[in-house]
């Protein structure tokens, strides 16, 4: 038996190599591409998720909402129906990560400016400070295109619940009255209101990955 194996050793090695080459060729021809994952609360850093849903394993989606944008218009989930969008949380007086995040979100805006399928949504974590007038000043300063990008304010509890029960991107500050510590996270949301990616909004490389993911998500609907 051993002599038989030795005799055909070269044959089996050649066959194995040929099989690998054939599989690689087939893979490239079919251009096999894995879909983006659907994020569930159980997969997210627990500090970003409300305790009531930390163990949720499936069927997570973004809740309905009703907020006011930089133009004083009411913005609801209907404005994002059948859209892919990127969501984040910020505040206009932030002097640390927010300016960087806004610059990176502006990059996304410019990349999707002519794309009717994709929009942006930024929520203020200090709605008592970020009035409509304040958001408008900020929008003008940062080059926000009103048709693509809504900066929204509204009821603090609603924004808190959206941050921690829907988008899963904001920490609780441990104080009363729904205090929020925003993070650098950008959430990619699909047309079914599911989270399909988390990206570092202070990192150009991570936002580059987000732009690639948007294209990939768009392709999945064709």
> Is 182 one of the annotated binding-site residues?
yes
Residues 149, 150, 156, CA angle at the centre, nearest 5°?
A: 150
The Cα 125–Cα 152 span in angstroms is 10
**Phi, then psi, of 115 in degrees rounded to 5:** -105, 110
CA–CA gap between residue 117 and residue 219 (Å, rounded)? 11
Helices (H), 112-203: 132-142, 156-161
Q: Is 128 annotated as a binding residue?
A: no
The position carrying tokens 């050649």 is: 14
Positive or negative: CA dihedral 174, 180, 181, 187 = positive
98 in a labelled binding site: yes
Point out the annotated binding site for Cu cation.
94, 98, 182
Point out the annotated binding site.
94, 98, 182
């Amino acid at each position: 038996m051993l002599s038989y194996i030795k005799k055909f050793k070269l044959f089996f090695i050649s066959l194995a190599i040929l099989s690998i080459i054939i599989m690689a060729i087939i893979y490239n021809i079919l251009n096999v591409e894995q879909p983006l994952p659907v994020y569930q609360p159980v997969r997210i850093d627990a500090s970003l998720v409300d305790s009531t849903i930390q163990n949720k394993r499936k069927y997570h989606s973004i809740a309905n909402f009703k907020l006011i944008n930089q133009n004083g218009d009411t913005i609801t989930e209907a404005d994002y129906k059948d859209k892919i969008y990127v969501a984040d949380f910020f505040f206009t007086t932030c002097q640390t990560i927010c300016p960087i995040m806004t610059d990176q979100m502006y990059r996304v805006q410019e990349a999707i400016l002519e794309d009717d399928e994709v929009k942006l949504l930024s929520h203020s974590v200090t709605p008592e400070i970020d009035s409509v007038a304040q958001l408008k000043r900020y929008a003008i300063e940062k080059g926000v295109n009103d048709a693509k990008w809504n900066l929204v304010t509204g009821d603090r509890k609603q924004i808190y619940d959206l941050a921690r029960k829907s988008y899963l991107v904001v920490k609780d500050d441990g104080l009363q009255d729904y205090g929020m510590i925003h993070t650098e996270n950008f959430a990619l949301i699909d047309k079914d209101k599911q989270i399909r990616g988390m990206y570092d909004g202070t990192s150009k490389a991570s936002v580059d990955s987000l732009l690639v993911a948007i294209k990939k998500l768009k392709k999945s609907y064709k």
